[in-house]
Each structure stands twice: as C-alpha cells, then as structure tokens.
Amino acid sequence: MAQLKPNSKKGRVIFHIDMNCFYASVEMAYNPKLKGKPLAIAGNPEERKGIIVTSSYEARAKGVKTTMTIWQARKLCPELIVMRPNFDRYREASSAIFKILSEITPYVQPVSIDEGYMDVTGSNMDGTPIDLAVNLQQRILNELDIPCSIGIAPNKFLAKMASDMKKPLGITVLRKRELPTTLWPLKVEEMYGVGEKTAERLHTIDIHTIGDLAKKDSYQLKQLLGINGERLRNRANGIDTRPVDPEAIYDFKSIGSSQTMAEDTTDVNVIQRLLKLLAENVERRMGRKDASGKSIQIMIRYHNRNTITRSRKLQAYIDKKEDIYQIADELFQKHWDGEPVRLLGITVQDVEEKRNIGQQLDLFTYEKVASKEKLYRTIENLTEKYGENPFKQWKSADDKATMQPRTSFQKDFLDDFRK
C-alpha cells in the first residue's frame, strides 16, 4: 500500500532527534546519584582492556572517549565510574522516547536506539517548528530525565548535521541559505557520511572543507569515489530528497555480530569459541527477522588495529549457527596471518526474509514438496476466492508491529516504538 506523504507545499520540516550520551543518561535517570559524575559504560569493567562504549560529559571533559580501553580512560580520569551496559533498560527508555515522537507525527524513522528522524511538515502544532522542538525536548527531559539535541532543517542530512552542532540540550536550525556561513567552513571530516578513509582521498584533490566539496567538479568526484562522490557533493550543497520512512527500520541486507577480545590472542581454541558465540548471535538475530542469507563475511582486527574482511558467496541460503560457524571458521583459517587477534566479527550478507525466498528443491526435498502439491493448489484456490492466504506460514507486513528488533553491542536496534 502506498505510504501517505505529509503536505510539503511550503517545503519540508525535518527534525533529527539525538539523545545525549544515551546509555550514561539512562543510567543517571535510573540512579540520580550518578548525575554530575564521570561515568562510562563499558563491555567488561573488570577487564583493563574493556572498551568504553559511551561516557558522560563529565568524563569526556577529562578526555575519555568511545572505543578507548578502560585502563586508558582511568589513566585520564582516575575517579571514573565504569558500569556494564544494561540493554533492557536502554531498550525500555528508547521505546518510551519513540512513543513520544510518534504522538506528534506518524512520520518517525528510527535509525538507532538513540536517534531518529521526524517529518513534522504540515503537523498540527502550536507555534513554530522551534516551539515544537523546545516542547518536545522539554517533555523528554521532564518525563524520562534524558537530554537530547534536535536539528531542524528541510531535509534529513541537514537535520543530522544540525543536531550535532550543539550538545547537550541543543536546538539548531540549519537553512540552505545559511550553508556558506554555517556548514561550508567545517572540515570535511566533520560531514556526516565522510569517514576517515574517504576524507583522506578527498584531501588528495584539495578538498579540506565541506565548502571545498560543495564546489568541486562532479565528474572529478565520481572518478574518485564513484556515485558516492556525487551524492556527497549534493549533500554538501544541502540536497537530500530521502523521505522520512517509518518502515525503513525493517530494511536489512546484512545481519552480523562482532566482539572485542578480553586480550589480544593467538589461541585457536579461544578464537573458535568466540566464532561459535558470534554464529549463535547471528542465528538468533536472523531468527527474529525470519531471514536467511547467501554470503558470509568475517572481520579480523589485529593487535595493531589493522583490519581485514573476507567473504564467501554461497550456493544456497543458510540461517543455522552450525553452517555459519563452519564457513566463518574456514574463512578465518584461510586468511589469518598468525598475528594476535583483537576483534572478530561475523556477518551474513545478501539477507532476505524467508517469505521472499523461493524454495530451492533438491533430490532430498522434491518428494516431500511434491506430496504437498495438492494442498498448495487448494490453498491457492482459497486465496483467490477469499483474499489473503488463510494458512499463511510467514509473518505478514502487519505482523511487523509485533516484531522487536533488539540491541547488539555494535549496532543498536529499537524495540517497536509503535506498541
């Protein structure tokens, strides 16, 4: 069914909502005694090499940063309080936040557990979009005790950039006519969508600011970065036609899991145990989405932070942990150079929902399927007569309202905020 679009005769009004230090803020809301103190959330607080996931602004002021090891963080901030992540608590808070957003407009697109877009174009609001943002920010703070920053712009890219400009509790409006003075002077590394490697490549053609990128010849950028070069140039000029899509949370092409070792290791037994754990995680996440995949990729990060990815295309779809582990282990054994391993990851790619996958018959399944052919024909006749298949096996689109995407350590997904 075609999705209704908000009235946009006067131009779109897009909000990007970004929770400030989300995990730490949730812990402070749960335990107010933590407020005002340097707090960090880390995977293994008992391990010196545990990795900081996020930290409070008090900790950041002392130099504590995400991905820093605990021993490094404590060296900078001896009084640092380190806690394990409580994902159930964070999911509950995220669900409450997105319920508030969805009360304002149905056009809400979560992009992670702690951020999302809203299209408030034509919404029934008292006052201006800034008034709406102020009221929304204050409501989340009053009801949930969680601070957020809000970017207001005519499209998603500019709204995202705007929300990053003032934290915590910032509200920033970014208009296209203001780009030469507000956006273009920023370093190109600060642009959303430009990573470290892309920035390095842009530097080779004398692009150092977002303004340099906005003015660069499209052909030269496409020669350097392919279609992404033109896309980045458009964004730098404030061009982004992507809609705020509430259904985008259900779009996925890969499902993965990764984990940092407690310590760098060359112990094959330890490595294989972790690969089995990662395969189990991937199987579980694929099960939640009723999905299978046709390609396996592993990621190996070494003690010196050098990282490689290797993948294998498969003949058939798989979703079982045993199959995932077997292929991942083979890839690891083939491509591991014997150096100490810091992090491992497994990702199943070319993922499809099972209901969209045509059944691939072989000699072992043909007889079983053929025996059910009369049943299938009967179901088809009933479907033609009464509409949707009354015996449908896979989840329908309406069932998405009951699905609960979960949080993983590397990539956060949301509980369904429409519940």
- 171-173 and 148-153 strand pairing: parallel
- Rounded Cα distance between 34 and 56, Å, is 10
Half-sphere exposure of 195 (CA within 13 A, CB side): 3
- Rounded Cα distance between 299 and 311, Å, is 9
Q: Give the DSSP per-residue string, 221-285.
A: HHHHHTHHHHHHHHHHTT-------TTGGG--SEEEEEEEEEEEE--HHHHHHHHHHHHHHHHHH
- Rounded Cα distance between 320 and 317, Å, is 10
Asked whether the beta carbons of 350 and 253 are under 8 A apart, the reply is yes
- Rounded Cα distance between 48 and 66, Å, is 15
- Known binder of ligand: residue 114? yes
Chain centroid offset of residue 165 CA? 21
Residue with tokens 């208009």: 175
- Active-site residue 115, yes or no? yes
- Rounded Cα distance between 266 and 338, Å, is 7
- Out of 115, 178, 247, 388, which one is annotated catalytic? 115
Asked whether the beta carbons of 277 and 39 are under 8 A apart, the reply is no
What would you report as the CA-atom Rg of the chain, rounded to the nearest whole angstrom? 24
- Known binder of ligand: residue 18? yes
Known binding positions: 18, 114
Binding residues for Mg(2+): 18, 114
User: Catalytic site residues?
Assistant: 115
